[in-house]
A and B are shown apart, each in its own frame.
Chain A
């Protein structure tokens, strides 16, 4: 293929006495990948100390920063529907549902999950494959299908945070894109459905580190 392209250009070059400038879009693409530092930032050590608190019936608004895709954000509601603590009070079976930001709990969830919250307030929440229609998609006018596995920390009764650390979390359609490195924060939605004004999209680890250092 490269030989064929080279031959075409060589023939054209002979005929045109090198008047024509060479145009190779593929080479431009390769050159960009070579000169641009596209190394993703290291995923923060998720040494957040979470809290073991009852989440049943609590409804959070998540602010998800899809860092590996660029400056894109996705907001989802996260409703915890079950919180069953074991006899040792060391872990709890948790169930929940995801909805879009502008939906209510009367709407059908876009994903649901069952997981276990450990005594450090940490759990893995997997959405399974979710479909985000074009009008709600963080990718402008483009419907996407994705699978997300959140490492979630319960900071307190009103605050969650976490990140995505695994390779299986991906945008699956229309193209495959890694979501490893995504971060998020979540705040409790008010009793009358008031959405929180400010939500971090990352765990406050830096602040914690600074505190430890001091």
Chain B
């Protein structure tokens, strides 16, 4: 199956460049959810092939053979100004361990879907296949080239105790089945997905979890921990949709699932010879419920969409030795559930043209006490605009929206060494969705 393998690699590559900060020491938080497909039109009432992710019940509403390509170029700008007040490091060490670090990333989120819906008179039956990343991100923080050579680790920036570079991809290879009862406007759908997850991450770390770079003899203290693991899993989602001339409504449920990422963890501490062990990170992902309702009043429509995600099931992202189960790294999280609300007013200029705006907001999944540069989330606001042009055989939608994270000032970090300081993050999502239909 060289063709399939090639596609797998291509999708993995594209997915690995998906935006959103993470580390892997770090895992998924709301800020790294990649549910951006369709841009401002991505919600539980999404049209066409976007339903494979947003609501499979909608896949069988229109009969025919169809294909959807969606791409979201993303630009992320984030900064962390580390503020430390510690007695366990020298003045010089504190100087190079504090200050501003930044990341500036471009990436593309890919989405492919293909399907066929057959009209059995009053009942439509649809099948679909597709692939897309649902969580993840990559980030490589800027280097600090001013760092003094006597502290060789400091070139990786003051944020390095949380993250230096990381790639997380959670790619879904998805099949869907949907049925629409045309007489009553009701649709039901479900997906099954083979989820392939990889995590590749590095952070600075000392065994005593301090900022100390060298000991009193000038011997290096700073170390590194690098984990590269993967996991696979079968997961399912369910959706229900209703549509008539004046209103659309939909709910999509993604039950929680747990991943056990297993792979080598390489560690080098102080002057000890580097070690490689088989490590395991328990990587739970939340249940997510998406909902949307879109009433239409003549040329005007208004979509109220939202999401509830049960991130609170994630207490830690500790790393364990695979063979003995003993803890290697302790990474507290204590995440909180999130609520997202989006308002998308739209105007149908003609039967083919729709113009829309987005405003919305989302709560933070990461409490201030466990925020770190590689695992950042914050209350955020959304705004953007876009348009859709639709013909009988094809359609195109394009949009831009910005996710503006509210500034987070942390002075109560429980992360060791401390992750106190100021965090800023902003993500611009451009989106184009092309759909063909026969």
Contacts and interface: CB of A to CB of B under 8 A. Distances in A.
B217 A70 contact: no
Interface string A1-40: 0001001110110011001111111101100110111111
B277 A175 contact: yes
B268 A32 contact: yes
Contact of B221 (A7, A71, A181): A71
Contact of A69 (B140, B272, B330): B272
Interface residues of B, number: 61
B106 interface: yes
B112 interface: no
Interface string B251-287: 0000000000000001111111111010000000000
Contact of A7 (B9, B17, B164): B9
Interface stretch (B120-128, B187-195, B203-211, B343-351): B203-211
Contacts of A23: 16, 138-140, 165-167
A41 B214 CA distance: 13
A174 interface: yes
Interface string A164-202: 000000000111111001000000000000000000000
A25 B226 contact: yes
Given A140-B209, A174-B327, A12 B16 contact: yes
A130 interface: no
A174 B329 CA distance: 10
Contacts of A173: 321, 324, 326
Contact of A177 (B200, B210, B275, B320): B275
B106 A16 contact: yes
A133 to B, nearest CB: 12
A181 B321 contact: no
Interface string A49-80: 00000000000000000011111100000000
Nearest to B268: A33
A68 B271 contact: yes
A37 B221 CA distance: 11
Contacts of A105: none
B416 interface: yes
A70 B215 contact: yes
Contacts of B275: 175-177
Contacts of B107: 16, 19-20
B220 interface: yes
A109 interface: no
B10 A36 contact: no
Interface in A67-104: 67-72
A141 interface: yes
A132 interface: no
Contacts of A20: 17, 105-108, 138
B223 interface: yes
Main secondary structure of the interface of A (DSSP, over half): loop
B108 A15 contact: yes
A139 interface: yes
Contacts of B328: 142, 174-175
Interface in B137-180: 138-140, 152-153, 155-156, 164-167
B270 A8 contact: no
Contacts of A39: 271
Interface residues of A, number: 47
Nearest to A1: B228
B14 A28 contact: no
B324 A70 contact: no
B202 interface: yes
Given A26-B200, A32-B156, A36-B153, A69 B207 contact: yes
Contacts of A26: 200, 202, 226, 228
B402 interface: no
Contacts of A28: 156, 164-165, 202, 224, 226
Contacts of A141: 327, 330
A67 B277 CA distance: 22
B247 interface: no
B234 interface: no
B417 to A, nearest CB: 10
B424 interface: no
A111 interface: no
A129 interface: no
Nearest to A18: B106
Given A23-B140, A140-B330, A178 B167 contact: no
Given A7-B9, A174-B324, A72 B266 contact: no
B30 interface: no
27 contacts: A8-B10, A8-B12, A15-B13, A16-B108, A20-B106, A22-B140, A23-B138, A23-B165, A23-B167, A25-B228, A26-B202, A28-B226, A33-B268, A38-B268, A38-B270, A38-B271, A67-B215, A68-B271, A69-B207, A71-B210, A72-B208, A140-B209, A142-B327, A142-B328, A174-B277, A175-B267, A176-B277
Interface of B: 9-10, 12-14, 16-17, 73, 105-108, 138-140, 152-153, 155-156, 164-167, 200-202, 206-210, 212, 215, 217, 219-224, 226, 228, 266-275, 277, 320-321, 324, 326-328, 330, 416
Interface of A: 4, 7-9, 11-12, 15-16, 19-26, 28-29, 32-33, 35-41, 67-72, 134, 138-143, 173-178, 181
The 9 closest A-B pairs by CB, nearest first: A12-B13, A40-B271, A8-B13, A25-B202, A174-B326, A70-B270, A29-B226, A36-B152, A19-B106
